[in-house]
Amino acid sequence: MKNTNLSGRFLKADTVVAGAGIMGVFTALYLARKGQSVILLDKGPIFRAATGRTGGGVRQQYRQPVETPLSMEAVKIWADLREDLDSDIEYRQAGNLKLLRNEEETAEAKNRVKRENAQGLEVFWWEEKDVRDYLPVLNPNLPIQGATFCPSDGTANALLLAGAMRRALRETGVQLRTHEPAKRILISDGHVIGIETDRNRYLADTVVNTAGAWAQELIKTAGLDIPLIYRKSQIIVTEPVPPVLPCFISFEHGYCRQAVNGNLHLGVRGYPVQDKNTDISSQAFTDIGEGYTQYFPFLRQTLLIRGFAGITTWSPDHIPIIDQAPGYDNLFIAAGFSGHGFCLGPIVGKLLSEWIVDGGTSMDLSAFSWSRFSNLEAKHKPGELT
């Protein structure tokens, strides 16, 4: 099906993707590279929501076991993105250090290292001396048990990636329609036929829901529901400082990294929310002052210059849903990435494009099926086309 303008209100494509976060843009890109005509919709600009407000971690370690193979394949794609997109997105494989203080968590971490090594991921257990030699800014008076370290983990700049992906989408012919939120999945005779916005109806052979925090609202218009909750993740940015953090670091109070330009990005643990307000809270600054300075005393003399927040979408088991929607063979969804979807975006987009165009995927996605949850029954009347 070719992209065709039908009287200004109806547009047609092979696939319509709702949501221009990292899942949506890579799905659209890979579909277009497979020869499909694609329309990509978003309520704001590309990467406006959670993807653009990420901590930037491209992480394989400390995932659910079923996610580890996906993350490892994703990192292979990340390693080639600079050449593929002809753009430096500041992707650096500097490693990922997970600090441990609690004895119970330390025992679990050592077992996790064995499990991840068995899955083919190179992860190491570091004793306290190894950690302090590697991270001299760590408070010398703070007791720690040790750390796990994955050298192939890294970070990337989401804003630079947004620009590079926008160019790639344009070059492959994807119609990117921003500031136009998907309002309703169109159904005719029990079959999904497209998406409606306030401006247009987009007719397509396939619809993909990658709408992030709005994925649940959109899927309800097809008479379905998914069990998701929302958390607000907040990041405080410091003034540029000399190199002090050699890699992505996580610990009990949050996670941090140093950007290429020297700013420190200090993330605090997300907390459940009922709405999608992304205003930064004063509590985030308090958490930095009380939690981070225990680990990194130099922060007491470092200027905090700004902060930002994003809404992450969590499934009950913290494993995403990547599947066809029950009852519809041409409606797909990728949602519930539980605060760690940034790394997975490229591989999820690639696999969805395989499923849609080739009829199957090169990796097993059964662990991410919708059917693992019990609430599959229709809870809302589908939005039949009128």
Question: Can you give the pTM of this predicted structure?
Answer: 0.93
- Tell me what the pLDDT averaged over the chain comes to: 92
Mean pLDDT of 350-371: 97
* Domain pair 4-53+159-226+317-372 / 93-154+229-314, same fold: no
> What is the C-alpha end-to-end distance of the chain, expressed in Å?
22
Radius of gyration (Cα) for the chain, nearest Å?
21
Q: What local confidence, expressed as pLDDT, does residue 162 receive?
A: 96
- Give the pLDDT band of residue 9 (cuts 50, 70, 90): low
Q: What local confidence, expressed as pLDDT, does residue 278 receive?
A: 87
- Give the pLDDT band of residue 374 (cuts 50, 70, 90): low
Mean pLDDT of 360-378: 84
Mean pLDDT of 151-176: 97
For the chain, domain boundaries: 4-53+159-226+317-372, 93-154+229-314
CA–CA separation, 149 and 123 (whole Å): 6
Please report the sign of the dihedral spanned by the C-alpha atoms of residue 237, residue 238, residue 240, residue 245: negative
- Give the pLDDT band of residue 1 (cuts 50, 70, 90): very low
Mean pLDDT of 7-31: 91
User: Homologous superfamily of 4-53+159-226+317-372 in CATH?
Assistant: FAD/NAD(P)-binding domain (3.50.50.60)
Instruction: Give 214-272 pLDDT, tens digit per residue.
Output: 999 999 999 999 999 999 999 999 999 999 999 999 998 899 999 999 999 999 877 88
Provide the CATH topology of domain 93-154+229-314. Answer: D-Amino Acid Oxidase; Chain A, domain 2 (3.30.9)
